[in-house]
Amino acid sequence: MTNKKEGGLPAVLDKMSGEITKALGSGGVTSERFIRAAKSTLNGNPTIANLERTSVLAAVMSAAQDGLVIDGKEAAIVPFKGKATYIPMVRGLLKKMRQHSRFGNISHGIIYLKEVEQKRFSYIKGDEEELIHDPIIFEERGEPIGAYAVITMKDGEKFRSVMRKKDIEKRLAVGFNSSQKKEWKEEFWIKTVIKDVYKIAPNSTDEEGYLEGMFGEEKTPEEPKIVNPVEPKNEPVTITSSGDTIDGDGVVIKEADPKKPKRTKAAQAVLDQSSIPDAEIVNTEEEIPM
């Protein structure tokens, strides 16, 4: 019997290494590093590994196309209604912005209530704009009430965005409604304000449109951002006595339903002799009269 730990999605990623290499292109991320991080995500998070297989592969290929490693820092895969959704994280957005724009520096932060009360945050608009943030590090900061991002171009010109909590949450309400938006609250707040300032900063050097794609609306898994995910080839299929389905390389492509009884040795012998590759067994076990 095939060891399940050697099969499943991590093994499929190895078989897709050629397609992943093509998707990554020359962005500086090797397929070995990308696949290693993706495997670590799947092995360390059974919830993600057990999502709909096609959506997980689509999410992986989307991250590869953007050249972002699925490590929870550059990019992440989150569940939504049993399917996988790929999300560029703050570090990933900043990485691509620096690669495909004239942005020299990008700073950002969360604004807390007590920082405003103590006049540790100020934002002045007009002919001479100025944004000052003296964050509270070790003391009680109060609730988050806003966020900001500042882009400094390579020629020194600056672009700023400051958003209130109400406006940020209104933006976040658009798109998929995932629990991760609450779990990674500060991450999504920063992403929102970075997207806002990106819209007003010049980005004419993004000739290939990488940033336009990444800064588009996050879609639900019903409308995934995919790049023709590679499906497993139509290889010979075997169903083991335990009920697992394995492909020609011995990779487990479908695990047995634990609620269904296992087949008898007699039923398995009949199945092993069948020449029909995708035969469907209706009755997996029947009483044999003695």
pLDDT in tens, 177-234: 666 677 778 888 998 999 888 888 876 555 555 566 666 555 444 443 444 444 444 4
Higher pLDDT: 261 or 244? It is 244
Domain count, the chain: 3
pTM of the entire structure?
0.63
Higher pLDDT: 2 or 34? It is 34
Do 189 and 117 belong to one domain? yes
**Residue 209 placed within a domain:** no
Round to whole Å and give the CA distance between 249 and 233.
11
Do 196 and 112 belong to one domain? yes
Q: What are the residues whose beta carbons fall under 8 Å from the beta carbon of 41, sequence distance 6 or more?
A: 48, 70, 71, 72, 76, 77
Tokens 């950002």 sit on residue: 108
Do 121 and 38 belong to one domain? no
Tokens 């020449």 sit on residue: 275
Q: What are the residues whose beta carbons fall under 8 Å from the beta carbon of 253, sequence distance 6 or more?
A: 7, 232, 237, 245, 246, 247
Do 181 and 147 belong to one domain? yes
- DSSP letter at 280 equals P
**Residue 128 placed within a domain:** yes
> Quick check: 79 and 88 in contact, CB under 8 A?
no
Owning domain of residue 274? 232-290
Phi and psi at residue 270, to the nearest 5°:
-65, -40
Higher pLDDT: 99 or 60? It is 60
Question: Residue type at 210?
Answer: Y
pLDDT number for residue 220:
44
pLDDT number for residue 243:
59
Domain limit, last residue, from 53, 88, 123: 88
Do 110 and 182 belong to one domain? yes
**Residue 93 placed within a domain:** no
Report whether pLDDT(263) > 60.
no
**Residue 198 placed within a domain:** yes
Do 241 and 189 belong to one domain? no
- Across residues 137-142, what is the average pLDDT? 95
Report whether pLDDT(281) > 80.
no
